[in-house]
Structure 1
């Protein structure tokens, strides 16, 4: 496998790195989280103009990338800059819209004109992808949705791509459909809040939300496959973001060990601290290898792909928590202060472990998929 980026991907990475360095203050993530929508719309438009969203989709869908490695380039850059922007929402919702052939709505996502929040998780579902209690019933030519969704990122002012059950029991993998719900739909209520790692999320209630027939995305009852595609792309993205975060934390910690003087010499000369830092470096490289493997597997199908993705998410979750904890301990008391940028990177890195399934979930899933073979 060739681990090096193509010239086009290197150019994209360099362009994003320069833009983020010029326009993004890592500490702005927490500040923006206090008010809707949780990011700067002007910066979001500039991201779209740079092609950061277009890189996530293939030419047939209005973009110029779309592979796992394109996603990796974009999200590594976002991680290094701790960027507050709804890129993950655009990727996951856009992926489902692309597979369903919804070109008009997808074009609005790719150009940055419309944010579409992926709205699938429910409070009592844990990480069970098939658990959907929100219901959609036919009403003439249209649909009516009732239910609730939990921890929906980037929901304020956005359209929602909502999973709802059109048949079957609450945990039945079949019988789930996807619906595109406008932000101003009657019966839609948002209870937003800032997230601990920056950005904003919302609890969402759907009480008699009436939708036209055209709101159904894909075929009735076949939403499971679309959700699977969205979650697969989102998993690669989060893993890549985690690598970007780890690298910033690593560099900041190495620099601190070099410059923090105690008893007349840099603390980095302490052999015990050197050994701890060496372990951090090795663990990050292992995690990077797992993410490269996941990016390469994204275009595959079936249990093979899902097993590789779960392996990567488990590795990034476990390693990310370790790297964050080690960095804070090696920084000492200053590592606990809100004013230190590294603290914010560490917080985001730990929370990535809990998005789209934590390390325990993905380890269990990895084992189960292996048995299925």
Structure 2
């Protein structure tokens, strides 16, 4: 298998790294941390102009038909700059779910707007009692005479405060299919009966909790024809984990580069820290963990369109392994910076916080080790 990047992919990597290096400095990140929106609308417009928002969208809907590898290249560059724009929520999750589940009319209405930056999305699925089980939700959608009535609550909705529309999952209660089906609904952010309470995320960006109180929607708010959306949700979340793994690799690379440079200029007893053999061993261990994480992120991207079990095992393996590697690299970086490593002024702390947040998103390391093992047992028994 040839794992070398194509010329187009190399150009994407170079342009993304250059844009992030020029646009995301420490001052910009501090400004976004204190901004109530959590990201820059101007930068979002630039994302659209560069074609990044259209990257995975099919060409017939105004996109570029890119795949998980291209998304991973972009996300790794985003990790280097701690980018906070709602790319995962809108493009990796939102656009993917509309493409997978939506009717042709729904795709034509939404995907071109995502590609040109005029529509931002969020995906509201997680609930308090679910514990990362994607099949466990209690939010309900009851069929009414002229549409649907939604009731329930969602937590940890990435960038839901900034979304124009929120994709909400709910159990369908109607007479046109088997019970227990999960449907996806496009809910306008201004809908009556929708309450949003947002808060800052660890490591930058914002998330929110939402309450659905007898929220009424038209019939066409349901994505697709009402078939069970759980397989599509699992598919989209696995792709999101692969993308977030690539972002974590970019963060780890920055931490390694920053720590290596610091140990070269920081002197102790008249010698740079990098002259100490123990320090060199620790830097080598960081580099090994980074390479292992990069390999797992690439594997998850390569398996993103494989059979469901194979795809899910690759995604969970990447999430678990990268989570462990990320914590090691982050902790080593902070320790090797000494007392400064725990100060707010030094950026290694901000990068480490984003890695801690990554380890929790869509399930932590322990959860995905268990999921990986369970999927392996189901394959063996079959």
TM exceeds 0.5? Answer: yes
Q: Distance in 1 between matches of 2:249 and 2:94?
A: 23
Q: Distance in 2 between matches of 1:56 and 1:347?
A: 28
Aligned residues: 370
Q: Distance in 2 between matches of 1:70 and 1:210?
A: 38
**Map of 1:127 onto structure 2:** 132
Report the 3-state secondary structure (helix = DSSP H, G, I; strand = E; otherwise coil) of the residue aligned with 2:203.
coil
Pair 1:107 & 2:108 matched: no
Instruction: Flag the 1:32–1:11 CA change in 2: closer, same or farther, 3 A.
Output: same
Instruction: Flag the 1:271–1:127 CA change in 2: closer, same or farther, 3 A.
Output: same
Instruction: Flag the 1:305–1:65 CA change in 2: closer, same or farther, 3 A.
Output: same
5+ long unaligned stretches in structure 1: none
Q: Distance in 1 between matches of 2:224 and 2:26?
A: 38
RMSD, matched Cα: 1.7
Pairing partner for 1:266 from 266, 272, 282: 272
**Map of 1:23 onto structure 2:** 23
Note the C-alpha offset of 1:225: 2.1
Q: Distance in 2 between matches of 1:221 and 1:122?
A: 21
Pair 1:94 & 2:100 matched: no
Greater shift in the superposed pair: 273-282 or 27-36:
27-36
Note the C-alpha offset of 1:18: 1.6
Deviations 1:181-214 (A, max 9, x none): 0010001111111112111111110101110011
Report the 3-state secondary structure (helix = DSSP H, G, I; strand = E; otherwise coil) of the residue aligned with 1:166.
strand
**Map of 1:349 onto structure 2:** 355
Task: Tell me, yes or no, if the aligned pair for 1:71 and 1:236 is still in contact at 8 Å.
Answer: no
Note the C-alpha offset of 1:356: 1.1
Pair 1:149 & 2:150 matched: no
Note the C-alpha offset of 1:23: 1.7
Relative to the length of structure 2, the TM-score reads 0.93
5+ long unaligned stretches in structure 2: none
Greater shift in the superposed pair: 35-44 or 184-193:
35-44
**Map of 1:317 onto structure 2:** 323
Note the C-alpha offset of 1:174: 4.4
**Map of 1:249 onto structure 2:** 255
**Map of 1:186 onto structure 2:** 192
Report the 3-state secondary structure (helix = DSSP H, G, I; strand = E; otherwise coil) of the residue aligned with 2:360.
coil
Q: Distance in 1 between matches of 2:180 and 2:72?
A: 31
**Map of 2:71 onto structure 1:** 71
Q: Distance in 2 between matches of 1:29 and 1:123?
A: 30
Pair 1:8 & 2:13 matched: no
Note the C-alpha offset of 1:33: 3.7
Q: Distance in 1 between matches of 2:55 and 2:373?
A: 33
Pair 1:291 & 2:297 matched: yes
Q: Distance in 1 between matches of 2:162 and 2:46?
A: 18
Q: Distance in 1 between matches of 2:352 and 2:27?
A: 12
Q: Distance in 2 between matches of 1:135 and 1:364?
A: 28
Note the C-alpha offset of 1:31: 3.6
Describe how 1:198-277 pairs up with structure 2 within 5 A.
198-277=204-283
Instruction: Flag the 1:366–1:163 CA change in 2: closer, same or farther, 3 A.
Output: same
Task: Tell me, yes or no, if the aligned pair for 2:239 and 2:315 is still in contact at 8 Å.
Answer: no
Q: Distance in 2 between matches of 1:249 and 1:214?
A: 47
**Map of 2:48 onto structure 1:** 48
Report the 3-state secondary structure (helix = DSSP H, G, I; strand = E; otherwise coil) of the residue aligned with 2:338.
helix
Task: Tell me, yes or no, if the aligned pair for 2:101 and 2:229 is still in contact at 8 Å.
Answer: no
Q: Distance in 2 between matches of 1:350 and 1:153?
A: 16
Q: Distance in 2 between matches of 1:195 and 1:72?
A: 22
Task: Tell me, yes or no, if the aligned pair for 1:33 and 1:195 is still in contact at 8 Å.
Answer: no
Q: Distance in 2 between matches of 1:173 and 1:141?
A: 21
